């Protein structure tokens, strides 16, 4: 592999520094995303300018002009790419600017996913026209606060009915890159827990089945559909229920103005975490339940009840007032 010899000091241009940084990255997805940010930033600053001649405020000004009116996530992503680039240059002793302190990372916005009340969820699951399969899936999504794909991927062999838990394959934070440049998702095994509602429904749904997918279709797949052995029940020949099928079934029972206007499967996870936050669950417990890796991602659910706030306020009372 050829070694890129970089000039030092003022001879290092903005474009050369950006290309060298991108060449140091191994993840093709990161290269593509960072390339967008650095390409536009370098073009705005002047690709042929010496990197050492660029001021900190020019970096901040470029970010503000290019993405100041963009969505919060876009701003944070582009800012993070430029921050990584300037930090990489500084670590290698190249004279250059830094992202100014005033170009701050913005807090993530509140989710626009609707929060369904516990009563609305209970009523939907209790409806007589809802099949046992959907009742169990929706109750399990709500009580585990797991992602839909994780629950649909669970097999009976992994269920711990007595312990009310099961391992799920959760996508890791960082993808792994193979030698040939292709990206493979890094999955990790994590445990989800459910409560009495799911515990009552699961045995009825399984009907003595001991292996294969927990949630299956009502019809066998056609002869032209190729499925892995893990995605077919060996006893009944029924296939694993897909995310698209599960989403359509939920929409069918909740749509109020035509197809596509009903609930979304993610609303069970979002509602469950929100209800836990409203009941005073701590941020650490919410992170343990949701398996989020960053605390800012669970702060939207941290909504203690009025009673919990009263109890905390009582700690500030004079000593004799609490006797």
Closest among 37, 89, 38, 44 to 62, alpha carbons compared: 44
**Among the options 15, 78, 269, 270, which is catalytic?**
269
CA diameter of the chain: 78
Examine the residue annotation and report whether 292 is marked as an active-site residue of this protein.
yes
Helix ranges (H only) for the chain are 14-23, 28-45, 56-67, 72-91, 118-126, 132-144, 148-152, 196-206, 243-254, 266-278, 283-290, 306-314
Count of other CB atoms within 10 angstroms of residue 237: 12
DSSP 107: P
**Among the options 44, 253, 266, 303, which is catalytic?**
266
In angstroms, the CA 145 to CA 251 distance is 19
Examine the residue annotation and report whether 176 is marked as an active-site residue of this protein.
yes
**Among the options 116, 147, 240, 275, which is catalytic?**
147
Residues facing 213 on adjacent strands: 155
In angstroms, the CA 153 to CA 166 distance is 11
Examine the residue annotation and report whether 301 is marked as an active-site residue of this protein.
yes
SS3 of residue 138 by DSSP: helix
**Among the options 49, 220, 247, 292, which is catalytic?**
292
Judged on CB neighbours under 10 Å (0-12, 13-18, 19+), 169 is middle
Examine the residue annotation and report whether 10 is marked as an active-site residue of this protein.
no
**Among the options 176, 204, 230, 294, which is catalytic?**
176
Residue 66 CB contacts under 8 Å (≥ 6 apart), including other chains: 40, 41, 44, 78
Examine the residue annotation and report whether 266 is marked as an active-site residue of this protein.
yes
Examine the residue annotation and report whether 147 is marked as an active-site residue of this protein.
yes
Residues known to be catalytic? 147, 176, 266, 269, 292, 301
């Amino acid at each position: 592999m050829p070694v890129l010899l970089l000039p030092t000091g003022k001879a290092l241009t903005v474009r050369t520094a950006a290309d060298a940084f991108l060449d140091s990255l191994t993840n093709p997805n990161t290269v593509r995303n960072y390339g967008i940010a650095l390409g536009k930033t370098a073009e705005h600053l002047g690709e042929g300018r010496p990197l050492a001649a660029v001021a900190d405020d020019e970096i901040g000004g470029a970010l503000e002009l290019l993405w100041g009116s963009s969505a919060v996530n876009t701003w944070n992503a582009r800012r993070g790419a430029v921050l990584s680039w300037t930090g990489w240059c500084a670590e290698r002793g190249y004279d250059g600017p830094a992202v100014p302190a005033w170009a701050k990372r913005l807090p993530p916005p509140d989710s626009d996913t609707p929060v369904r009340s516990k009563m609305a969820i209970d009523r939907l699951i209790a409806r007589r026209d809802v099949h046992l399969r959907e009742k169990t899936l929706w109750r399990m999504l709500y009580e585990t606060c797991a992602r839909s794909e994780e629950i649909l991927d669970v097999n009976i062999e992994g269920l711990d009915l007595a312990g009310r838990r099961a391992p799920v394959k959760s996508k890791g934070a960082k993808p792994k890159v193979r030698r040939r440049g292709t990206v493979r998702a890094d999955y990790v095994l994590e445990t989800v827990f459910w409560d009495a509602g799911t515990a009552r429904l699961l045995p009825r749904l399984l009907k003595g089945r001991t292996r294969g997918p927990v949630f299956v279709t009502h019809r066998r797949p056609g002869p032209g559909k190729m499925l892995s052995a893990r995605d077919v029940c060996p006893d009944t020949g029924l296939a694993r229920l897909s995310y698209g099928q599960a989403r359509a079934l939920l929409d069918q029972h909740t749509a109020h103005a035509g197809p596509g206007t009903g609930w979304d499967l993610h609303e069970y996870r979002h509602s469950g975490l929100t209800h836990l936050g409203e009941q005073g669950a701590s941020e650490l417990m919410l992170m343990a339940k949701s398996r989020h890796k960053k605390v800012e991602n669970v702060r939207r659910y941290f909504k203690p009840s009025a009673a919990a706030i009263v109890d905390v306020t009582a700690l500030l009372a004079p000593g004799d007032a609490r006797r």
